[in-house]
Chains A and B, each alone.
Chain A
């Protein structure tokens, strides 16, 4: 556990401080020594600023400003400009990118759209990494010497960009870990898994820009950023429709609450807790989405019942009844056109845990916990956990129950020290 002690309120503070110091030093150095090749600096700075300005506001996206990222990386890896060698050094790269990103962020900050500090710190550190790998050796002529120019040089640029992407993923996972205290391993895996999507497009565009400017000069920049802009647009539309879809699923889930079959907020609470437990257990992002949808709709089978189950509590019913409702629910979910995996989880939620997929085990345990904790009043959470532990022989998987206990302890849902 790194850094549990310092800065409880701002756990990502050290990263921010590092980025800030780096950017300030680079700016001071550049102002002192003057800017080398102003045209290129201005063009790349403008591209980065525009990319930053055009970023989307949707939270939780992997790379909110792909165009800005590609422009910044291309500047870090720029060796030649229209056939003539460039001489800008690492501080200049960092200074230009930091200044441009700050400038592009101003409208977002003014409109109060989302946190930008994390994003900016990541940008500065990533670009600094790429520039440190490339510029010193390039300016000494080493890279040309070793790769012999040509195709070897292109391969080098790509390899450096892949390294940079890895570094960026580590950085992002570390920051997410510091902020949320979720385990580092799964976070890093999620970051790496997401990289082939928008990450690869950013890297490829960065490489193409650096090489194309080397061959053709600066007019290539605006022309060659268009395809990436298109990618950004598709991603934005995708994100929008995904958000809408999630809202629709959530309101479908509310149908059981409004019909009086389940208590208000039950589906939402089970979904949130299930997601947290799934994350604890190291599920990947697509698996988490399936888990969340299944948890939201786990009670939907009750809509097919003529008479409501008392208080919607399925965990106290006879096993056959539980399984019957689960099957009805699976049938409803299949009709909705949601991913078939979701239907499977809903169908199997009442089976003994050894026969279940892991998502269904989580939904079963969390649902039972939610119902039991609610009934028992004050002190309910503790007693509910105890009951779940007693059921680990057949119904609930011990690992899931312990993971649930950890999640609850962390969020303060259960008093610490209950384990014994």
Chain B
């Protein structure tokens, strides 16, 4: 992270000025200080709660556990008082990226301005009376407008700082930002409305607190989900690393086959979900080698027919291992059939042409391509062009010509960047969080 560009500093300074203007009308004697203090404490409390350890280090960031409270404040209090509710919580927020202090100030100013606007819109539509006289569903209208206003201001400011600090083009900065944040904010808005109605009812603020419990449980479960998912991905990675370590010369091979399979899938227009499963098929295609004696896998020199037969059992071993994993779906057939050939001379079943599952035909091409372009103990790597020529020569006999063409086109467009993090790890010491898994997490 270099020095902060002056344009970004300007942006922050403007936001802070705006926030100060929002708070300027506070000391006019009509501020309900008790309610304000309670809400502000709640808001800060929610923020701290999300840092609580059992909820975990793996808690998703930016879930905004405090938004229902902020919105309840906007529905209950005059604009400047509602804006003040956001301040302590925002200043106490944990910020991951540096520079921390300026990000914190920015976040606080942004929230103050947004909440002020939301509260203003809500008040202008007669929201405060509708909360007290809650018998008619009209209360939803000002609340909905307030949520829209909040979302608009937040995304506007978020986009502005992106443009100023990172010089992102304005179009890309704002694209999809509003739509992405509206749905969660709408749910938070409903919870906030619920809080406000109960707060003003004879049952009082204590009843309003009950609303937060389901929200918090939901948030906690979501954090658990992320933790479990990360653990699952680590386990898959461990399976792959176990194969790579055992096989000796194929470090990173599995990850690269996964990537090449994904490139082919995109090229032939597979939808995202199937392409993701195909990536797993590529990554796990050799998992059956765990069942083959290490001595055979690492043997230098020619294999006897008996030894070859043992090694050729690995697709069946692999299928046997993963057949219980439900989410792998079609990938399981790819693991079983990735050594079949189009002309029927492959193994284990000698399937011909379209009898071979589509996934298996993709993985076969990706596997052969990576085997040729990476260095092995017995020969040097071939250049990409030579490998493609060899694939094309064997297309129709060994490989599906459609997949070979797709790979060639994809390589022509994006190139081949074979360095994966598994290459950088020392043998036997697997990298903790290889980049490949990160990509999985951000995939839709």
A contact residues vs B (CB 8 Å cutoff): 82-83, 149-151, 153-155, 158, 197-198, 200-201, 204-205, 207-208, 211-212, 214-217, 219-220, 223-224, 226-228, 230-231, 234-235, 237-238, 241-245, 247-252, 254-255, 258-260, 303, 306, 332, 335-339
- Whether A197 lies near B221 (C-beta < 8 A) is yes
Instruction: A200 to B325: give the CA distance in the assembly, Å.
Output: 33
Q: Which residues of B contact A251 (CB under 8 A)?
A: 321-325
Instruction: A223 to B327: give the CA distance in the assembly, Å.
Output: 34
Q: Known pairs A215-B202, A238-B224; list 6 more (Cβ under 8 Å).
A: A208-B210, A212-B197, A216-B139, A234-B218, A250-B324, A252-B239
- Whether A241 lies near B225 (C-beta < 8 A) is yes
Contact of A244 among B187, B215, B242, B327 (CB under 8 A): B327
Instruction: A270 to B232: give the CA distance in the assembly, Å.
Output: 22
Does B140 touch A at the CB level, under 8 Å? yes
Q: Which residues of A contact B61 (CB under 8 A)?
A: none
| B interface, over-half SS | helix
Q: Which residues of A contact B221 (CB under 8 A)?
A: 197, 231, 234-235, 238
Q: Which residues of B contact A303 (CB under 8 A)?
A: 242, 290
- Whether A234 lies near B228 (C-beta < 8 A) is no
Instruction: A277 to B136: give the CA distance in the assembly, Å.
Output: 58
Closest residue of chain A to B429 (Cβ to Cβ) is A335
Closest residue of chain A to B238 (Cβ to Cβ) is A336
Q: Which residues of A contact B165 (CB under 8 A)?
A: none
Known contacts A216-B135, A228-B214, A238-B221, A338 near B235 by CB under 8 Å: yes
Instruction: A237 to B210: give the CA distance in the assembly, Å.
Output: 24
Stretch at the interface among B1-9, B72-80, B188-196, B404-412: B188-196
Q: Which residues of B contact A259 (CB under 8 A)?
A: 290-293, 317
Closest residue of chain B to A231 (Cβ to Cβ) is B218
- Whether B135 lies near A83 (C-beta < 8 A) is yes
Q: Which residues of A contact B220 (CB under 8 A)?
A: 197
Q: Which residues of B contact A245 (CB under 8 A)?
A: 228, 231-232, 235
Number of A-B contacts (CB under 8 A): 179
Q: How far is the CB of B82 from chain A (nearest CB, A)?
A: 21
- Whether A241 lies near B234 (C-beta < 8 A) is no
Does B320 touch A at the CB level, under 8 Å? yes
B contact residues vs A (CB 8 Å cutoff): 134-137, 139-140, 187, 190-191, 193-194, 197-198, 201-204, 206-207, 210-211, 213-215, 217-218, 220-222, 224-225, 228-239, 241-242, 288, 290-295, 317, 320-327, 430
Known contacts A153-B203, A237-B225, A255-B291, A201 near B231 by CB under 8 Å: no
Q: Which residues of A contact B136 (CB under 8 A)?
A: 219
Instruction: A259 to B324: give the CA distance in the assembly, Å.
Output: 17
Instruction: A316 to B214: give the CA distance in the assembly, Å.
Output: 53
Q: Which residues of A contact B291 (CB under 8 A)?
A: 255, 258-260
Closest residue of chain B to A207 (Cβ to Cβ) is B210
- Whether A234 lies near B231 (C-beta < 8 A) is no
- Whether A223 lies near B204 (C-beta < 8 A) is no
Closest residue of chain A to B212 (Cβ to Cβ) is A204
Closest residue of chain B to A244 (Cβ to Cβ) is B327
- Whether A337 lies near B218 (C-beta < 8 A) is no
Q: Which residues of A contact B214 (CB under 8 A)?
A: 201, 204-205, 208, 227-228, 231
Q: Which residues of B contact A205 (CB under 8 A)?
A: 214
- Whether B325 lies near A248 (C-beta < 8 A) is yes
- Whether B320 lies near A208 (C-beta < 8 A) is no
Known contacts A226-B187, A338-B231, A258 near B317 by CB under 8 Å: yes
Known contacts A223-B194, A249-B235, A151 near B210 by CB under 8 Å: no
Q: Which of B224, B232, B295, B317 has the most CB of A within 10 A?
A: B232
Q: Which residues of A contact B288 (CB under 8 A)?
A: 258
Shortest 5 CB-CB distances between A and B: which pairs? Answer: A337-B234, A204-B213, A258-B291, A336-B238, A231-B218
- Whether A241 lies near B137 (C-beta < 8 A) is no
Q: Which of A226, A244, A251 has the most CB of B within 10 A?
A: A251
- Whether A216 lies near B134 (C-beta < 8 A) is yes
- Whether A154 lies near B206 (C-beta < 8 A) is yes
- Whether A244 lies near B326 (C-beta < 8 A) is yes
Q: How far is the CB of A340 from chain B (nearest CB, A)?
A: 11
Closest residue of chain A to B230 (Cβ to Cβ) is A337
Closest residue of chain B to A209 (Cβ to Cβ) is B194
- Whether A244 lies near B204 (C-beta < 8 A) is no
30 A/B residue pairs, CB under 8 Å, sorted by A: A149-B202, A154-B203, A197-B220, A200-B213, A201-B213, A201-B214, A201-B217, A201-B218, A211-B207, A215-B201, A215-B203, A224-B190, A224-B194, A226-B187, A227-B190, A234-B218, A234-B222, A234-B225, A235-B221, A238-B224, A243-B326, A244-B325, A245-B231, A249-B235, A255-B321, A259-B292, A259-B317, A303-B242, A337-B230, A337-B237
